[in-house]
């Protein structure tokens, strides 16, 4: 799955689903959780199930289910695990044990749907409760289904009684900046895709762009979106430029020509094996 841009779509809105399909997002996350009122949960589940099909498309289909403690998760999975589903996004996760528990449920549902075991991947929102922060190391080694790890600040702020999670300049306050970094390193340690959280003000495209550029600089490979207007900016910011691709190719070619070298000079700069790994990863993302 390509995971630069992951656009949330309320599961109970067929109109928004149709609009999102043409947004250019790499993945659509059909939401059965926070964006759906309690009285609309069953309707949302039925709508998302009706959208699922094995037809070819240019985006991945992900469903954010309700969490384990909601009492709705099994019914969500029974409805949406069918051909056409690429991944489940699990909220309110507190560690690798929750991923394994979901994996068992997916084994059951895939068998019932006649799907090959392991067809459906898992992504997690890994920082929505205080306890979840202490479970971040447990994602390593990653469950075979785990594909991506993202983080969230809104539920966490609510859980601890914070009055805000950004300062007057719009930057993350210290606790949430630390959580962001912890999630990034947890994903890297588990060798799964680190996905940055959403930029809540969907009208602030300039602020989104600044934040995305910093995010990619730090190591995130993609970002959650809450509005189709954000997708173009996210895709552009998380895509390597032509110059970056050219430099990466020169690094790979130079080490291929000098396989015993530990360091080499490229464009007047010294590069070593970590640069080679980064260059290969960048080229693999194109």
pLDDT at 11: 95
Mean pLDDT to the nearest integer, 78-83: 97
pLDDT in tens, 181-212: 999 999 999 999 999 999 989 999 999 999 99
Prediction pTM value = 0.91
pLDDT in tens, 128-137: 999 999 999 9
Strands (E), 58-190: 60-64, 87-90, 121-125, 146-150
Residue 139: pLDDT over 80: yes
β partners of residue 123:
89, 148
Torsional sign, CA 264, 269, 274, 279 = negative
Instruction: State what percent of residues in the chain have pLDDT above 90.
Output: 80
158 is written with which tokens? 């609510």
CA atoms within 13 A on the CB side of 279: 20
pLDDT at 284: 81
β partners of residue 207:
none
Strands (E), 153-210: 193-196
Please state, in angstroms and as integers, the Cα–Cα distance from residue 235 to each residue in 1, 2, 226, 281, following that order. Answer: 14, 11, 14, 17
Tell me the backbone φ, ψ of residue 72, rounded to 5 degrees: -110, -10
Instruction: State what percent of residues in the chain have pLDDT above 70.
Output: 100
Distance between CA 248 and CA 239 in Å, rounded? 14
Mean pLDDT to the nearest integer, 88-102: 97
**Which of 3.40.50.970, 2.40.40.20, 3.20.20.60, 3.30.2350.10 is the CATH number of 5-239?**
3.20.20.60
pLDDT at 268: 83
What is the phi-psi region of residue 117: left when phi exceeds 0, alpha when psi lies from -120 to 50, beta otherwise? beta
Domain boundaries, the chain: 5-239, 243-285
pLDDT in tens, 217-276: 999 999 999 999 999 999 999 998 888 898 889 999 889 988 888 888 888 888 898 888
């Amino acid at each position: 799955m390509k995971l630069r841009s992951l656009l949330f779509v309320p599961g109970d809105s067929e109109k928004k689903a149709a609009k999102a399909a043409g947004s250019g997002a790499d993945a659509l996350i059909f939401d059965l959780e926070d964006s759906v009122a309690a009285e609309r949960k069953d309707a949302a589940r039925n709508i998302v199930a009706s959208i699922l099909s094995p037809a070819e498309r240019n985006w991945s289909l992900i469903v954010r289910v309700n969490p384990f403690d909601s009492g709705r998760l099994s019914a969500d999975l029974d409805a949406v695990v069918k051909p056409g589903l690429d991944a489940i996004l699990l909220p309110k996760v507190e560690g690798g044990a929750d991923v394994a528990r979901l994996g068992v449920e997916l084994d059951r549902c895939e068998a019932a749907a006649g799907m090959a075991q392991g067809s459906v991947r898992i992504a997690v929102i890994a920082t929505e409760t205080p306890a979840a922060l202490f479970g971040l190391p447990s994602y390593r080694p990653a469950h075979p289904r785990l594909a991506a790890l993202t983080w969230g600040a809104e539920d966490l702020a609510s859980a601890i009684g914070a009055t805000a999670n950004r300062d007057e300049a719009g930057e993350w306050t210290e606790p949430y900046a630390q959580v962001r970094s912890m999630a990034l390193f947890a994903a890297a340690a588990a060798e799964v895709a680190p996905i940055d959280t959403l930029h809540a003000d969907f009208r602030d495209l300039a602020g989104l762009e600044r934040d995305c550029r910093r995010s990619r600089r730090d190591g995130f490979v993609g970002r959650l979106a809450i509005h189709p207007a954000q997708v173009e900016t996210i895709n552009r910011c998380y895509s390597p430029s032509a110059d970056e691709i050219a430099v990466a190719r020169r690094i790979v070619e130079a080490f291929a020509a000098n396989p015993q070298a530990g360091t080499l000079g490229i464009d007047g700069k010294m590069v070593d094996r970590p640069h080679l790994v980064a260059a290969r990863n960048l080229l693999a993302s194109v």
